[in-house]
């Protein structure tokens, strides 16, 4: 028995934020019906063809769902969607601002016919205010939230290498939906949730916000290093291997100097993170001088002996083969229209428990006829809907 087994989620979604949210719900056992535009579908299907001819973003965010194609400009399709939503537990949408309301899919319109329904509206900027009608994409929100300004090198700001603003919004939508379902268990009623990408990302910006309280200077962009802790970042060894060091406090700093650098006098001379941060250029030269004489394996051996935290600066090939993921049995396989692909179990899955559904990534419209039949459509009606381009 999966936690959300028996629950129906209907989602009008595209790109990343909403699909990432609803995939988590599918991983918990919910039935997720993804409503897509006939012939085109979620535009993320066309981002690339890296996953056996399918888009990498789409495969990541859409396993375990059913694809229903509906042309929502067609009256018959809108009526079918209304019938579907009337039996749903959750409706998620991240359409253009105002689009869901114009189709009668606002919580205020749906709640009288389905009081238990939880509606989650995901948008770039939220309802109300001068940005309400603005379109929003991940990079734009990374920029508007100030994230790009504190990321990168001193010479050049940078975005994150993945859709971090979409993920932030998707995770807040996911957790908020779960909370609303718990609340519904007590009250018997659903509710409306509103998730703004800007607000989700701004919450994640709490450290640099407070760091600049009362007009203080922002944290410096430090590349892959930490802007406010030192040494905390990558160092290159003599064999080219990069190892990321993480010395958090003075006790670790003393051990690091004694057992890794083997220069114990540096410990008391640079006690206190503020001093280390102020003298980071001097310390960088000292640390790099030691690392350049060691291989990556030799440095890691010293770090393990001193019990200093570190990480290898892995690339994607290293992650595919990561020994910890393999040892914990975190990989399985998922079917897609292009063939089977590896997939990680979701983080909530505990080894030894029944596995999550991990069902297939759907082809565009793959379940359309079956869902229409569930809604009471005859074969003749389904054929007519296809001929009219409504589905």
Q: Catalytic residue positions?
A: 166
Nearest to 365 by CA among 88, 38, 9: 38
Residue 258, burial from CB neighbour count under 10 angstroms (0-12, 13-18, 19+): middle
Nearest to 76 by CA among 389, 366, 364, 379: 389
Nearest to 16 by CA among 168, 156, 160: 168
- Phi/psi zone of residue 344: left (φ > 0), alpha (ψ -120 to 50 degrees), beta? beta
Nearest to 92 by CA among 20, 28, 140, 149: 20
Paired with 35 in beta bridges are 12, 68
Tokens found for residue 16 = 């990343």
DSSP conformation letters of 23-79 = HHHHHTT-EEEEEE-TTT-SGGGGS--TBTTB-HHHHHH-TTEEEEE--TTSHHHHH
From CA 115, how far away is CA 176, in angstroms rounded? 18
From CA 95, how far away is CA 117, in angstroms rounded? 19
Contact 58, 68 (CB under 8 A): no
Strands (E), 87-143: 90-93, 118-123
DSSP conformation letters of 128-142 = SSTTTT----HHHHH
Kindly provide the b/e burial profile for residues 63-101, where b requires at least 16 CB atoms within 10 angstroms of the residue's own CB.
Answer: bbbbbbbbbbebebbbebbbebbeebbbbbbbbebeebb
């Amino acid at each position: 028995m999966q936690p959300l087994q028996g629950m129906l989620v209907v989602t009008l979604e595209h790109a990343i934020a909403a699909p990432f949210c609803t995939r988590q719900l599918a991983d918990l056992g919910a039935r997720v019906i993804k409503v897509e535009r006939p012939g085109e579908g979620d535009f993320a299907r066309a981002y690339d063809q890296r996953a056996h001819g399918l888009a990498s973003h789409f495969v990541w965010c859409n396993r375990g769902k059913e694809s229903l194609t509906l042309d929502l400009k067609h009256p018959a399709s809108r009526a079918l969607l209304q019938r579907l939503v009337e039996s749903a537990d959750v409706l998620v949408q991240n359409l253009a601002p105002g689009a869901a309301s114009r189709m009668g899919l606002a919580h205020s319109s749906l709640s009288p016919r389905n009081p238990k329904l939880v509606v989650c509206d995901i948008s770039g900027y939220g309802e109300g205010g001068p940005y309400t009608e603005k379109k929003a994409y991940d990079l734009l929100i990374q920029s508007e939230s100030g994230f790009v300004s504190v990321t990168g090198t001193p010479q050049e700001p940078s975005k994150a290498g993945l859709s971090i603003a979409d993920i932030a919004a998707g995770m807040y939508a996911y957790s908020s939906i779960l909370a609303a379902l718990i609340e519904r268990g007590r009250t018997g009623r659903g509710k409306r949730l509103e998730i703004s990408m800007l607000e989700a990302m701004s919450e994640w910006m709490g450290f640099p916000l407070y760091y600049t309280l009362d007009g203080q200077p922002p944290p410096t962009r430090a590349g892959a290093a930490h802007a406010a802790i030192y040494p905390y970042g990558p160092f290159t060894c003599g064999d080219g291997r990069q190892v990321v060091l993480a010395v958090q406090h003075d006790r670790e700093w003393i051990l690091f100097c004694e057992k890794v650098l083997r220069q114990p006098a540096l410990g008391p001379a640079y006690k206190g993170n503020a001093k280390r941060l102020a003298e980071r250029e001097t310390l960088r030269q000292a640390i790099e001088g030691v690392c350049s004489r060691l291989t990556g394996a030799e440095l890691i051996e010293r770090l393990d002996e001193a019990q200093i935290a570190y990480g290898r600066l892995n690339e994607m090939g290293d992650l595919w083969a990561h020994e910890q993921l393999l040892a914990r049995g975190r990989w399985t396989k998922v079917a897609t229209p292009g063939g089977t692909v590896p997939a990680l179990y979701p983080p909530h899955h505990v080894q030894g428990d029944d596995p999550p559904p991990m069902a297939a990534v759907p082809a565009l419209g793959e379940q359309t006829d079956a869902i229409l039949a569930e809604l009471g459509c005859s074969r003749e009606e389904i054929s007519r809907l296809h001929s009219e381009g409504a589905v």
